[in-house]
Structure 1
Amino acid sequence: TGEASSATGVNGAQDDDTAPGSGAVYVFARGGAAWTQQAYLKASNAETGDVFGASVSIDEDFLAVGASGEDSSAAGWGGVESDNGAPESGAAYLFERSGGAWAQASYIKAANTGASDAFGARLALSATTLVVGAAGEDSSATGVDGDGASDAAAGSGACYSARW
């Protein structure tokens, strides 16, 4: 999470240290008795303090990565990544491996993105289901599918799930 390259995407320049705390994920694959680096993954919108790699989960050819410090105010799947209107709201990224090569498949935000939510601080991936935690989310909703717009319970946290 402290990795500092400003590279974006897959297999960019690992030695560029102009974005402290942007984070990275290194994927290793085993061939026989040896492990080798298969990919160097960065967010498509890597910036200082994004903490990409705060959490990771892999299932077969899919890899989910949390970036709890990411700042976009986008909501849902595939929003505008460059809008930094919600500091430390967090994001999740879904990567897919095909023929041994990794590519970013999705950029994911909470449906009710808010500053300091830390969406992506924890996540889990299984088959076609992704669950993402937002430790700093402020809704006072309870149970499943409550009113996420209510910010009456500072830092109460939330969990989001999606299927594709």
Structure 2
Amino acid sequence: MRLRRRDILAAGLALPALSLPARANDWDAFGEEGAVAPGTGDPPGFEIGDCATQRTLSEAGRAQARTIGAALRARGIGFDRVLTSAWCRCRETADLLGVGPVETAPAFNSFFSDRAARAARTEAALGIVSRARGRVLAVTHQVNISALTGQGTASGEIVIARPTEGGMTVLGSVFLAA
């Protein structure tokens, strides 16, 4: 396999001594919302538009999101679009990262409790990322990241990937906060 400049540059994200040039725009990142949102899933009867009915970020989760955002900004890494699920914990994580304009994209909504929505949401998310210009950060859920990239993530982990004809090619992943 021949490495391309963008592959090497994207890998540089994991090395603190290197920074990613702002013009290296042909990769995208996926971050799990769960910058410490205690529990699994959401309570019975939760409503997407009502944060009081959902699992939300803990104070540790908010601090983790701020730390990750600061680490990205310190390396000169920003995003042209920060796409997020409509879940409150994803929106809050995206806002606290402070690395680009945040917009809600239902294609990144969780299908944890609605597995029948997996194919349609994954296809829609791939379409959005594939057509996007510049760098995209998707703040979404574990199930979505796994469906898009074929790999799981831990809370606070960022998966770096590039859209391809067959889906997404994972270039690597990085933890920027403990």
TM-score normalised according to structure 2 size:
0.25
TM-score normalised according to structure 1 size:
0.26
Richer in helix (by share): 2
Richer in strand (by share): 1
